Structure 1
């Protein structure tokens, strides 16, 4: 459990960093020599376009989407394990009633929490 708590703390810190970084341009320039040859030397700069199309920023956003998918699956897995352990403990204690985590036995609409 200590390992899980440490990993969750690290994940929280990483998510905060990712959220901040995803709105900023990358620190490394991804332009090639060919790219430099096509750039205008005069006229207005295009910082918004440079930020939006920055390869490192795009990779960061993709990793955030992938991470969100895996974390959502991990949450479901942990909830399933917790529910299974709760049911096994209830049976061991001699209870016949099917319980849900948190002691709530009401009907649910099962609307997904994360989209």
Structure 2
């Protein structure tokens, strides 16, 4: 589904989008809990020796600390966590802005004077 401003023309569509966002966040939280569990876990044992001969590995890594720290799969997970943090920071700001705007519109609808936050939204 492509998201555009046209999708938010009524409260029903907005509720569907909010429900989808909540489901996506629940899935992301599940994945993040797995990421936390694997943070200090050794990676998978290689199928072949590092010299590239194609021989099956018969023993564990000779330098386990380096293999844990420099494991390519672990580095990929760390990169994605950093990227997620950057994007989520922006998403939180956007959601808070939308929430504040809806709150102001509903307050006006109910005849309340506009709230003054001094530019800061808690």
Q: Could you tell me the TM-score, scaled by structure 2's length?
A: 0.65
Give 1:56's aligned residue. 73
CA 28–63 in structure 1, closer or farther in 2 if over 3 Å, else same: farther
Q: Structure 2, unaligned stretches of length 5 or more?
A: 1-17, 53-60
> For 1:90 and 1:22, how far apart are their aligned partners in 2?
46
Within a 5 Å distance, the mapping from 1:1-115 to structure 2 comes to 1-27=18-44, 29=46, 32-33=50-51, 45-98=62-115
> For 1:32 and 1:7, how far apart are their aligned partners in 2?
39
Q: Structure 1, unaligned stretches of length 5 or more?
A: 35-43, 111-115
Shift of 1:33: 3.2
Relative CO higher for 1 or 2, CA cutoff 8 Å, sep ≥ 6? 1
CA 99–12 in structure 1, closer or farther in 2 if over 3 Å, else same: farther
Shift of 1:99: 5.7
Instruction: Tell me the alpha carbon deviations over residues 14-61 of structure 1, each in whole angstroms, 9 at most, x when there is no partner.
Output: 000111122223226397536xxxxxxxxx931011110111111110
The count of corresponding residues between Structure 1 and Structure 2 is: 96
